Amino acid sequence: MPAQTILLYPDPRLKEISAPVTAVTAEIRSIVRNLLDTMKAHPGSVGIAAPQIGELKRIIVVDVSGHKRAGNHHGLLILLNPVIRERDGEQIGREGCLSIPDYTARIRRAARIRVEAYDFSFSSICIDASGFEAVALQHEIDHLNGVLFLDRVASLKLDLFPRKNYLPQLARPKE
């Protein structure tokens, strides 16, 4: 399937809470394919949530394996109804978002998390993540709750930065 258009801030759908997935239906499989295709169409992206393509379902895709900050990771994760059950430690790092393409910000996140979710076969799974993968998971799970990284910026004056080498076409999928 072709990549989908990314919703851009301040689209009000980005602030809505997503509905739980109750089964892996044809609709859910289609949304997951669209998420994978859309993430692939945006090089450097490490995650995407269904609300970012206008689907208010609790689905995220995360894959930090190609990123220089990857560290330990689980590879490609397709998670349905993910919930953070445990948080530990603290880290501050720079985050960006496909839905807010012209800014990055310093954000405080948990250093280690435990996520409970369903995988693509709707089997219950538990993932312990740390470092950059933990950040990516927290970022994408926030999208499911209508939370953007801008909502977590401590100081807009000190912690929000224009993206270097910002390309306006970043938010549009490749043709």
Kindly list the catalytic residues: 140
Which tokens go with 6?
A: 């990314």
Query: For the stretch 122-160, what's the b/e string if a residue is b when 16 or more beta carbons lie within 10 angstroms of its beta carbon?
Result: eeeeebebbbbbbbbbbbbbbbbebbbbbebbeeeeebb
Q: Is 67 annotated as a binding residue?
A: no
Quick check: 80 and 106 in contact, CB under 8 A? no
Q: Is 74 annotated as a binding residue?
A: no
Give the contacts of 152 (CB within 8 A, at least 6 positions apart). 105, 107, 108, 142
Place of tokens 């499989």: 29
Quick check: 17 and 50 in contact, CB under 8 A? no
Residues 36 and 40: their CA atoms lie apart, in Å, by 6
Quick check: 76 and 90 in contact, CB under 8 A? no
Quick check: 59 and 28 in contact, CB under 8 A? yes
Length of the chain: 175
Q: Is 42 annotated as a binding residue?
A: no
Binding positions for Fe cation: 97, 139, 143
Binding positions: 97, 139, 143
